[in-house]
């Protein structure tokens, strides 16, 4: 299997190189391009996924529908569609809404995300076919229920999800 690489970027999202994916998350992390996809259904429920237990960092936490990294030479939107199909077995129209930079360390694994994250939203009401190597579980959740759960158990959610959620909520 080919080595997975991420795209290193400066603070303005200009490409400055590539790096092996795991190495980019070690020793405090190196800024790289990423994306997060938030999906709602026609009833305005949010699609959440629980990261598979075998994920290299932040395993078992709830997060947005899909998140990953574009490959070198791959458009961010194309990567978002690719990962929706690979992780959840569906695709739908997506709109890029905003981007933000963050750093978050997973103490258990000693790995750090330092990402410039492009955030996409979409609407999907059809079937979901999660890849068990990527996704431990999925569920649709009402926004009020999600807010209550976040207040009661913030440790159950990924850092990027909590950071992006406020802005996404204002858009949907």
Residues with catalytic roles:
67, 115
**What are the C-alpha distances in Å from 50 to residues 17, 18, 19, 171?**
31, 28, 27, 23
* Pairing label, strands 111-123, 32-40: parallel
Q: Name the CA dihedral angle for 147, 37, 167, 143, rounded to a multiple of 10 degrees.
A: -20
Give strand pairing partners of 51.
135
Largest Cα–Cα distance in the chain? 43
H/E element, 87: helix 76-88
**What are the C-alpha distances in Å from 172 to residues 42, 122, 131, 167?**
11, 9, 27, 9
Place of tokens 């800024």: 31
């Amino acid at each position: 299997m080919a080595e997975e690489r991420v795209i290193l970027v400066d603070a303005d999202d200009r490409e400055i190189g590539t790096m092996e994916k795991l190495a980019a998350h070690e020793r405090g992390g190196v800024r790289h391009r990423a994306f997060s996809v938030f999906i709602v259904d026609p009833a305005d429920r949010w699609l959440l996924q629980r990261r598979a237990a075998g994920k290299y960092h932040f395993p078992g936490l709830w997060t947005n529908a899909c998140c990953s990294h574009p490959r070198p030479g791959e458009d961010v939107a194309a990567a978002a569609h690719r990962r929706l199909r690979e992780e959840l077995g569906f695709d739908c129209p997506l709109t890029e809404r905003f981007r933000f930079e963050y750093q978050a360390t997973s103490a258990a694994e000693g790995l750090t995300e330092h990402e410039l994250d492009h955030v996409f939203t979409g609407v999907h009401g059809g079937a979901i076919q999660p890849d068990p190597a990527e996704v431990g579980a999925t569920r649709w959740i009402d926004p009020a229920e999600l807010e209550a759960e976040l207040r009661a158990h913030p440790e159950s959610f990924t850092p990027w999800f909590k950071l992006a959620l406020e802005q996404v909520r204002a858009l949907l």
